[in-house]
């Protein structure tokens, strides 16, 4: 029996004039994610994208899982494709829907007939198919108000489709529909979650990672790449900029007061991110900062770090508690990787008493001891790029 995937559009169905460009982006993203599983064809009709496997060997369980991570899909389901013949529809319903119907007590049938040449009208299909299923599964009852399962029979130009029960999709809007931004990613728990959240709102992400060899190891870098790989099913392929940060950190340690060390370091991260963004066409920066979590995430500290760039900085976990962030990290399967114990450059030179209420003038004054512009240019010139692609 031939099966297809139905992806139901969420918010983008409300997009008015831009709607079709959102839909095209959704299809493009779905294609990219599913490509590795084999050939599929795509068509859209009435706020739904129909994804048809064009090869019998395609693993539809896996395709279903992949589709569940595509942003812009509000709900999704698998459906069987049937010849447009009432007898064939009944037979297919009995076989294909058996697992779903055996697991419940009540159901109802909904019919959608967009092919008006089909001889039965929708209410008649509902009544007849409902009666047929009651006979085939005698434990069932019809409940039109609050059924356990809604059996949907769609009669369309290209064929008839049967399905029962959809799951909530990944939600959000298609990746790329909001533009491109740079995600500052550490090896921690918060920044991958922040990336996931902003990709959900349509941002296509590039990643920016600061490393400080030999204080940070090759394994710390691999951990970040592993985290990005976990984001790819949601975000699509990601270009990662790896910035050598050792010299900047050493210069700060040598020349600046210890209590301002973290804040100055974070300002350099922002300066470099700004430099990369302007070179790479990124229109915003994303961080995993959460208000009050550590000394560098107080309001005044964030004012100091934000002062070195004119790009908007998105901090989607700013108002979340750690346990709320962890719940998302578990959901997107980054948590176990994030807690691997490799050093991040931030933890290499941590001051004993970081200032929690830094004053911008004081920080700017302390930075005078550094050859700031030259340090940024040198690190920028030595930045590597690595692509993290769909598997």
Structure tokens at 222: 């691999």
Residues 41-60 that bind ligand ATP (CB under 6 A): none
**Under rule CB under 6 A, residue 189 binds ligand ATP:** yes
Per-residue contact track with ligand ATP, 72 to 101, x per CB under 6 A?
------------------------------
CB nearer ligand ATP, residue 189 or residue 308: 189
Q: Which does 236 bind (CB under 5 to 8 A by kind): ligand ATP, Mg ion, none?
A: none
Distance (Å, whole) CA 122 – CA 112: 6
**DSSP conformational letter for 282:** -
**Under rule CB under 6 A, residue 185 binds ligand ATP:** yes
Q: Is 354 left (phi over 0), alpha (psi -120 to 50) or beta?
A: beta
297 annotated among ligand-binding-site residues:
yes
CB nearer Mg ion, residue 52 or residue 350: 350
**Under rule CB under 6 A, residue 293 binds ligand ATP:** yes
Q: Which does 72 bind (CB under 5 to 8 A by kind): Mg ion, ligand ATP, none?
A: none
355 annotated among ligand-binding-site residues:
no
Distance (Å, whole) CA 292 – CA 274: 24
Q: What is the DSSP string of 97-120?
A: THHHHHT-SEEEEEEEE--TTSSS
**DSSP conformational letter for 11:** G
**Under rule CB under 6 A, residue 288 binds ligand ATP:** yes
Q: Are 30 and 384 in contact (CB under 8 A)?
A: no
Closest approach of ligand ATP to the CB of residue 12, in Å: 28
Closest approach of ligand ATP to the CB of residue 141, in Å: 51
Residues 337-356 that bind ligand ATP (CB under 6 A): 344-346
Rg, Å, the chain Cα set: 26
CB nearer Mg ion, residue 186 or residue 309: 186
Q: Which does 189 bind (CB under 5 to 8 A by kind): Mg ion, ligand ATP, none?
A: ligand ATP
CB nearest ligand ATP: which residue? 188
Distance (Å, whole) CA 339 – CA 334: 9
Q: Which of 29, 48, 178, 191 binds ligand ATP (CB under 6 A)?
A: 191
Distance (Å, whole) CA 25 – CA 57: 27
**Under rule CB under 6 A, residue 287 binds ligand ATP:** yes
Distance (Å, whole) CA 343 – CA 328: 23
Closest approach of Mg ion to the CB of residue 21, in Å: 37
List own/partner pairs for 292-298 with CB under 8 A and 24 or more apart.
293/190, 293/322, 295/262, 295/354, 295/355, 295/356, 296/262, 296/263, 296/266, 296/354, 298/356, 298/357
Q: Which does 293 bind (CB under 5 to 8 A by kind): Mg ion, ligand ATP, none?
A: ligand ATP
**Under rule CB under 6 A, residue 358 binds ligand ATP:** no
Distance (Å, whole) CA 159 – CA 157: 6
Structure tokens at 74: 């509000």
Distance (Å, whole) CA 112 – CA 154: 5
In the chain, which residue ranges form alpha helices assigned H by DSSP?
A: 19-34, 60-67, 86-96, 98-102, 122-136, 190-200, 218-235, 246-255, 261-280, 299-306, 322-331, 335-338, 345-348, 360-367, 372-381
Q: Which of 29, 186, 309, 334 binds ligand ATP (CB under 6 A)?
A: 186
**Under rule CB under 6 A, residue 274 binds ligand ATP:** no
Closest approach of ligand ATP to the CB of residue 260, in Å: 15
**Under rule CB under 5 A, residue 188 binds Mg ion:** yes
Q: Which of 29, 177, 178, 186 binds Mg ion (CB under 5 A)?
A: 186
Closest approach of Mg ion to the CB of residue 205, in Å: 18
Closest approach of ligand ATP to the CB of residue 104, in Å: 42
Q: Which does 289 bind (CB under 5 to 8 A by kind): Mg ion, ligand ATP, none?
A: ligand ATP
Q: Are 180 and 156 in contact (CB under 8 A)?
A: no
Residues that bind ligand ATP (CB under 6 A): 184-186, 188-191, 208-210, 269, 287-289, 293-294, 296-297, 344-346
Binding site, annotated residues for ATP: 184-185, 209-210, 266, 288, 297
């Amino acid at each position: 029996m031939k099966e297809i995937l139905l992806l139901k559009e969420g918010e983008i169905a409300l997009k008015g004039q831009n709607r079709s460009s959102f839909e095209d982006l959704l299809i493009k993203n779905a294609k990219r994610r599913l490509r590795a599983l084999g050939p599929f064809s795509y068509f859209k009709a009435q706020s739904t994208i129909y994804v048809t496997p064009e090869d019998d060997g395609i693993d539809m369980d896996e395709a279903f899982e992949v589709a569940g991570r595509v942003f812009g899909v509000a709900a999704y389901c698998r459906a069987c494709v049937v010849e447009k013949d009432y007898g064939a529809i009944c037979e297919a319903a009995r076989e294909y829907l058996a697992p779903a119907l055996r697991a419940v007590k009540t159901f109802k049938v909904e019919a959608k007939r967009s092919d008006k040449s089909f001889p039965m009208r929708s209410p008649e299909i509902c009544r007849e198919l409902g009666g047929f299923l009651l006979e085939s599964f005698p434990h069932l009852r019809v409940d039109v108000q609050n059924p356990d399962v809604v059996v949907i029979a769609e009669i369309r130009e290209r064929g008839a489709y049967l399905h029962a029960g959809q799951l909530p999709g990944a939600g959000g809007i298609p990746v790329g529909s909001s533009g491109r931004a740079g995600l500052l990613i550490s090896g921690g728990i918060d920044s991958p979650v922040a990336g996931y959240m902003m990709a959900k709102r349509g941002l296509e992400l590039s990643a920016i990672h600061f490393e400080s060899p030999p204080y940070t190891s090759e394994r710390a870098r691999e951990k970040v790449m592993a985290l990005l790989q976990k984001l790819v099913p949601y975000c699509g392929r990601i270009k990662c900029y790896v910035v050598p940060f050792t010299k900047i950190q050493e210069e700060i340690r040598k020349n600046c007061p210890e209590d301002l060390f973290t804040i100055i370091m974070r300002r350099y991260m922002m300066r470099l991110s700004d430099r990369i963004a302007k070179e790479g066409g990124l229109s915003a920066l994303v961080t995993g900062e959460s208000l009050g979590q550590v000394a560098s995430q107080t309001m005044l500290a964030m004012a100091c770090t934000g002062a070195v760039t004119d790009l908007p900085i998105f901090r989607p976990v700013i108002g979340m508690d750690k346990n709320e962030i962890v719940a998302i990290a578990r959901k997107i399967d980054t948590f176990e990787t994030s807690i691997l114990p490799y050093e991040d450059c931030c933890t290499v030179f941590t001051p004993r008493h970081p200032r929690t209420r830094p004053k911008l003038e004081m920080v700017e004054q302390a930075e005078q001891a550094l050859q700031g512009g030259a340090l940024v240019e040198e690190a920028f010139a030595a930045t590597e790029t690595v692509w993290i692609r769909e598997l």
